[in-house]
Amino acid sequence: MSLSPHSAVPASDTPAELIRQRLGAETIDTENWNSALEAMLAHRSVRSYLPKPVPDDVLRLGIAAAQSAPTSSGLQAWSVVAVEDPARRAKLAELASPNPQILSAPLFLVWLADLSRLRTVAVDNGKAGDGLDYLESFLLAAIDASLAAQNAVVAFESLGLGTCYIGGMRNNPIDVGAVLGLPPESFAVFGLTVGYPDPTVATDIKPRLPQSLVLHRETYQLPLSPVALESYDSRMQEFQAAQGMAVRGWTRVMAGRIADAAALKGRDRLKEIVRAMGFKLK
């Protein structure tokens, strides 16, 4: 499968084919197709990289895209730490284990929900900044960081790089904070590996739920369609078989991931940890 020079999209994938891989039999008229849609619909997480550094201008273009994302009330309550040093990446990989792609990717971006800068701004303006003490502000910062990061993902992918989010940053947030020298009221919501994909490791487009389950018109549609879920399970089984993964479908795997507090693998204690990192979450 040959890749086009400017994207991770196989040159042969037509718009209809990209939609088929993502949504199965559902068809959407692609008359309004464009390169932005192509970049987003061709997305796949990349977990194997070439040992080729990411040029600084490419990093800075990706961050410029991130900075161009909408931000709640203009607060820009996020920051990002770019980590290239192999020893520091190894420490973070250990804290987010098992995510070996943090070692394989030359660049690891750690995205922060960051209220620390706003606290300083408040104090410099003679205010306590008590508005930062509420759950709303933490949520807002996490939303801002997520929107920024996803803009960067689309930008990097459009430049032929691959990425993979790393939620494992939340396995040991206090230790991650120590490795990165984070100030109070900043929290690593996730990491993002960035690099040039290893072309010898094929990564296919992962199917998503049928639109009938996610797109509600006017009001939320219930009951949940068992037929739609079953059809998605079948598509995921086909994908898993083609990728050489354990064939388990989707519903069973997801039910396991949310079965109980233990399934969160330590992240069930996040509220206390986030409070220990300076957020009040009132």
Ligand X SMILES: Cc1cc2nc3c(=O)[nH]c(=O)nc-3n(C[C@H](O)[C@H](O)[C@H](O)COP(=O)(O)O)c2cc1C
Binding site for ligand X (CB under 6 A): 43-45, 47, 99, 164-168, 190, 206
DSSP single-letter state for residue 204: P
Q: Least distance to ligand X from the beta carbon of 219, Å?
A: 27
Q: Least distance to ligand X from the beta carbon of 254, Å?
A: 11
Contact 273, 173 (CB under 8 A): yes
Q: Least distance to ligand X from the beta carbon of 89, Å?
A: 14
Q: Least distance to ligand X from the beta carbon of 110, Å?
A: 12
Q: Which is nearer to ligand X, 168 or 278 (CB)?
A: 168
Q: What distance in Å separates the CA atoms of residue 116 and residue 121, rounded to the nearest whole number?
A: 9
Q: Which is nearer to ligand X, 108 or 165 (CB)?
A: 165
Q: Which is nearer to ligand X, 16 or 245 (CB)?
A: 245
**Strand 78-83 to strand 107-114: parallel, antiparallel, or no bridges (unpaired)?**
antiparallel
Residue type, 9: V
Q: What distance in Å separates the CA atoms of residue 49 and residue 104, rounded to the nearest whole number?
A: 6
Q: Which is nearer to ligand X, 99 or 151 (CB)?
A: 99
Residue nearest to ligand X (CB): 167
Question: How far from 187 is each of 115, 118, 221, 232, CA to CA, in Å?
Answer: 9, 14, 36, 35
